[in-house]
Amino acid sequence: MKKYNVAVVGAGAVGVEMLRVLRQRNFPVGKLKVLARSNRDITVDGQVYHVEPITPQSFDGMQIALFAGTEGEKGAAVTYSEEAVKRGCIVIDNGADFRMEKDVPLVVPEVNGKDVKQAKKGRGIIANPNCSTIQMVVALAPIHKMSKIKRVIVSTYQAASGAGSKAVDELFSQTKGVLEGQPARPEALSKRIAFNVFPHIGSFAENDFTSEEWKLILETQKIMNDKKILVSSTTVRVPVKVGHSESVYLETTKALDIKKVKAVLAKAPGIIVIDDLKTSSYPMPIDCEGKDEVFIGRIRKDPHNPKGIWLWVVADNLRKGAASNAVQIAEELVKQALV
């Protein structure tokens, strides 16, 4: 089997998960480099990886560069992606810096995997979408093929890990402190996370929607190549370690049989349907941690609108929402013989 030289840029939560996913999915790695700001060793599932300080020359001889990305600040890809491409790499960036640029494909392999070929014609960069967008479009795409989706209203319930490892630490420390009667002082997050939820992810932007809410709107239209899909969203942070949940309402152009919708979703790639009301079975974040699939349940028709459908959508935000989707993009490049 042909092997490929891979650079993983970033040794935080997503970078570590990328290393784990590459191994678990048996990606044909030849030479592997882990790059970050400082020289050190990290251990992932008992395996030691040496982290090298990143320089432009780090990408010499590499074929695929997976950038873990950062939220809220410019990622390493802004500084190093052009250097990586010059040296023969295709860059897969998990950050937000390139997602909406016209010459950069925004890819979820189950939905628009064919678009990876645009990287060869363009800048050599493929963008990984936002975590909450990824799981939603995986759920929407099979239905969109049955009947065009006109409208989507989504409320998200996003885990602390979506804001990074410091936010997870804050969830644990605040919870312990509150139980011991201590005041909760937010630092990593904008509000107290222990025993609380708050509708504020990202910065407030146009029309009083947050940047995270605009990502769901604009990224969905780009991935599904349909600007007529009207998306509106509210994004909420919840006291969960890993796993984003979404309550999704969608309206199609024609009425669909809900049994057929369930059957289509159950057969769609990357989806697991858990929807048995007799046993109160539906997806929860604790079911999805460490898994690459998107889990869907509570599939039902709107009682007031024959074209309206409700879904409950859950996925591991560090895996399918970040690392696994990036590795799946790399798998698509191999499949299409683009590297």
User: How would DSSP label each residue in 87-123?
Assistant: TTPEEEE-SSSSTT-TTS-B--HHHHGGGGGHHHHTT
Q: Has residue 74 got a pLDDT over 90?
A: no
Sign of the four-CA dihedral 192, 193, 198, 201: positive
CA distances from 45 to 5, 6, 35, 292, 316 (A): 21, 19, 18, 17, 18
Instruction: Give the integer Cα–Cα distance in Å for 78 and 67.
Output: 10
Closest residue by Cα to residue 72 from 243, 219, 218, 201: 201
Q: For residue 226, what pLDDT is reported?
A: 96
The stretches of 25-108 forming alpha helices (DSSP H) are 76-86
- pLDDT, position 72: 45
CATH code 3.40.50.720 region(s) in the chain: 4-129+322-335
For residue 43, name the pLDDT band (cuts at 50, 70, 90). very high
Q: What is the pLDDT of residues 255-265, one digit of tens each?
A: 999 999 999 99
Average pLDDT over residues 140-145: 98
3-class SS of residue 169:
helix
Q: How far apart are CA 170 and CA 168, in angstroms?
A: 5
List of residues 6+ apart from 29 with CB closer than 8 A = 3, 4, 5, 6, 22
Residues in Cβ contact with 306 at an 8 Å cutoff, skipping those fewer than 6 apart: 255
Res. 178: pLDDT tops 70: yes
How much is the pTM? 0.95
- Convert the pLDDT of each residue in 309-332 to its tens digit: 999 999 999 999 999 999 999 999
Q: What is the pLDDT of residues 19-28, one digit of tens each?
A: 999 999 999 9
Could you tell me the two tokens for 169? Answer: 């630490």
Q: Which two tokens stand for residue 289?
A: 């941690």
Q: How many residues make up the chain in this entry? A: 339
State percent of the chain over pLDDT 90.
96
Quick one: how many helices (H) and strands (E) in the chain?
Answer: 10, 13
Mean pLDDT of 102-107: 96
With both helix axes pointing from N to C terminus, report the angle between 211-223 and 131-146 in degrees, rounded to the nearest 10: 40
Which residue ranges does the chain devote to CATH 3.30.360.10? 132-317
Rounded mean pLDDT of 225-235?
97
pLDDT at residue 70 greater than cutoff 70? no
Query: What is the reported pLDDT for 121?
Result: 87
Look up the CATH number of domain 4-129+322-335. Answer: 3.40.50.720
Pick the CATH number of 132-317 from 2.40.50.100, 3.30.360.10, 3.40.50.920, 3.40.50.300: 3.30.360.10
For residue 185, give every residue at least 6 positions away whose Cβ sits within 8 Å of its Cβ, in sequence order, or none.
Answer: none
Answer yes or no: is pLDDT of 269 > 90: yes
CB 193 within 8 A of CB 237: yes
Mean pLDDT over each residue of the chain, to the nearest integer: 96
**Rounded mean pLDDT of 72-99?**
90
- The position carrying tokens 């919870």 is 175
Cα–Cα distances in Å, from 243 out to 127, 210, 294? Answer: 21, 20, 10
Mean pLDDT, to the nearest integer, of 144-155?
A: 98
Residue 64 has pLDDT above 50, yes or no: yes
pLDDT at position 69 is: 83
Give the residue among 111, 135, 97, 106 at the shortest CA–CA distance from 247.
135
Residues catalogued as catalytic: 131, 244
**pLDDT at residue 1 is higher than 90:** no
Closest CA to 269 of 335, 219, 171: 335
Reply yes or no on whether the pLDDT at 209 is more than 80. Answer: yes
